[in-house]
Chains A and B, each alone.
Chain A
Amino acid sequence: MAGDGILESTIVTKVAREEYDDHRYRGYSLFHELLGSETIASLLGLAISGRRLGPDETKMLDDLAVAVCVADPHIWLLKPTRIVAALGNTLPALAVGAVCMEDATLGPWTSVAAARLFVELSAIVERRRLDVAAVDAALDRIASNQSNKRVLPGFGVPLRETDERVVALRARVRSNGREHCPYWKLFERTATLLENERGLRPNIASAFAAVGLDLGFDPKQIGSLGASVALLGCFLPNAVEEAELQSATLRKIPRRFVRYRGQPPRVSPRHQGA
């Protein structure tokens, strides 16, 4: 019967349901429980994890979202958004930004690997002391899921001495009274160890991951969280602006800035024989 077929294909969702006078969202009444009390950041948290954050957690999430708003259009990961937006539309430009982020070795998604590292490291240091060998053991456990297997996710700062976002976030973690949360403490201990032993300083991926884990997100959710706040704070302003500007030099790089490095001119066998 047709009705039985529909039941077989029913998917259980915990996201939402529309109703006549109100809507259900992640188990809550949209208009009577969420409206008036949620911020964009806390709504993101609820959307991704299904868990409603308390006021202190929401404040930390707000700070996390702002701390990563480095939106300079020169940044390699932001430029695809700029290029697509130069064709006139905002949302495809955002879509290309989202697509470029997932599973990339650069950018917000690196916090997923950093979070996995901390989860493994946390389990390891329950049984032994935290040292470089423990960090390497944690890296071995997550390496099969990584494209670049020997890069320590969340550590190493290119082009400058320290990651200024980590400095800023650290201050906010203290200001929010969250410096004693377990993953943040592990992050700080690991950061000190790696700087002393390997000259590696933490980048924003590890700091973001630690805060995210302490807020109760799992590693993959941290990736969605990082991507979402990056889309809002970094990609969106670039998409909006460039959809207005529609710069010709983004649609087509001028000839004088292009260097062809492929095969030299040649003739195909069929053309030779013609």
Chain B
Amino acid sequence: METSKPTSSRRSYAEGFECVETLDSWVVDDSGPPRIHGYDVESDLAPNYGFVDLLLLSLTGELPDDGASRAVEIVMSFLAPVSSSDGPAHVAVLASLCAAPYQRVVEAGAIGLAEAIGCDIDDVAEVLRWLDDPTTPFPERHRVASADEGASVQRLHACLQAQGTDVPVFAQNPSRLAACVGVLHHAGLIRPIQIATVFIVAQLPAVAAEAAAVRPLGFRDYPLWVPKFRYAEEGKSSGR
């Protein structure tokens, strides 16, 4: 089948679009020894700062003080546990079960995590608004809902106080999620993408580890019927 040839009169409508010729990089300068927000990573940051310091530097543009760094590190520990019963780890477990290569397992887990974290952060949007303006009333539905949750929030608060850090959100009897987000906000992470990134860095190791523990193709070790789906046919409707 012959193809038609483009004529010289045809032009792409994007061809005349004026734009720059370089891609901007705002955070990492790798034209020489790499720098993050201006600091030499290998000679300055690596010998003098920890990874959470780098995380906060990357996300906020400035090095954190010791208190903020330690607070974020504590919150990341509290966020870290993600079991195979949680969606993101369950996804990675299934990818591993189907003998997907490790890159795909991590990709699958990361997609699941980003979705779940996005739902969580969207759910606490009211808390983020309150954190931006604490003169307004704290949203009631984001207070502690159970004794177990309350105990966990108290442990988080105690960890932070032991480091000499107190964060105003704890005065509101916040839910565990609201408390974690409140601490991150206090450390300068005020945008959803910043908060989500910290969540992902905190949680991806457990997701990957749950998947790594799975025996590929070990289908008898996986509960196929949890949950069970029941197929129900609707009345057929068709143009045929």
- Bound-state Cα–Cα, A11 to B60, Å: 35
Q: Is the CB of A52 within 8 A of B1?
A: yes
A83 within 8 A of B: yes
Q: Is the CB of A251 within 8 A of B229?
A: no
Q: Is the CB of A80 within 8 A of B85?
A: no
- Bound-state Cα–Cα, A76 to B98, Å: 7
Q: Which of B6, B112, B226 contacts A80 (CB 8 A)?
A: B112
Q: Is the CB of B98 within 8 A of A84?
A: no
Q: Which of A5, A32, A87, A249 contacts B119 (CB 8 A)?
A: A87
Residues of B near A106 (CB, < 8 A) are 98-99, 217
B80-104, CB < 8 A from A: 83-87, 90-91, 94-95, 97-101, 104
Chain B residue at minimal CB-CB distance from A78: B94
A102 within 8 A of B: yes
- Bound-state Cα–Cα, A74 to B227, Å: 8
Chain A residue at minimal CB-CB distance from B116: A87
Q: Which of A18, A24, A87 contacts B87 (CB 8 A)?
A: A87
Chain A residue at minimal CB-CB distance from B114: A92
Q: Is the CB of B94 within 8 A of A79?
A: yes
- Bound-state Cα–Cα, A96 to B98, Å: 13
Q: Is the CB of B12 within 8 A of A147?
A: no
Q: Mark A61-86, 1 if CB is under 8 A from B, else 0.
A: 00000000000111011011001101
Q: Which of A95, A105, A249 contacts B99 (CB 8 A)?
A: A105
Q: Is the CB of A104 within 8 A of B98?
A: yes
**Number of A-B residue pairs at CB separation under 8 A:** 137
Q: Interface stretch among A122-130, A170-178, A191-199, A252-260?
A: A252-260
Residues of B near A254 (CB, < 8 A) are 85
A19 within 8 A of B: yes
Q: Quick one: given A83-B91, A86-B87, are A17 and B100 in contact (CB under 8 Å)?
A: no
Q: Is the CB of B21 within 8 A of A5?
A: yes
- Bound-state Cα–Cα, A100 to B92, Å: 9
Q: Is the CB of A96 within 8 A of B227?
A: no
Q: Is the CB of A107 within 8 A of B98?
A: yes
A114 CB to closest chain B CB (Å) equals 16
Chain B residue at minimal CB-CB distance from A107: B98
- Bound-state Cα–Cα, A23 to B199, Å: 43
- Bound-state Cα–Cα, A19 to B101, Å: 40
Q: Quick one: given A83-B112, A84-B111, A105-B99, are A100 and B94 in contact (CB under 8 Å)?
A: yes
* B residues with CB within 8 A of A: 1, 3-4, 6, 10-14, 21, 83-87, 90-91, 94-95, 97-101, 104, 107-108, 111-112, 114-116, 118-119, 213, 216-217, 219, 222-229, 231
B203 CB to closest chain A CB (Å) equals 14
A233 within 8 A of B: no
Q: Which of B112, B213, B226 contacts A84 (CB 8 A)?
A: B112
Q: Which of B4, B12, B107, B217 contacts A32 (CB 8 A)?
A: B4
Q: Which of A29, A74, A262 contacts B4 (CB 8 A)?
A: A29
Residues of A near B12 (CB, < 8 A) are 17-20
Q: Is the CB of A76 within 8 A of B222?
A: yes
B125 CB to closest chain A CB (Å) equals 15
Q: Is the CB of B21 within 8 A of A2?
A: yes
Residues of B near A88 (CB, < 8 A) are 115, 119
- Bound-state Cα–Cα, A262 to B212, Å: 13
Q: Is the CB of A103 within 8 A of B100?
A: yes
B23 CB to closest chain A CB (Å) equals 11
Q: Is the CB of A100 within 8 A of B100?
A: yes
Q: Is the CB of A99 within 8 A of B95?
A: yes
Q: Which of A18, A76, A102, A250 contacts B13 (CB 8 A)?
A: A18
Q: Is the CB of B21 within 8 A of A19?
A: no
- Bound-state Cα–Cα, A106 to B85, Å: 22
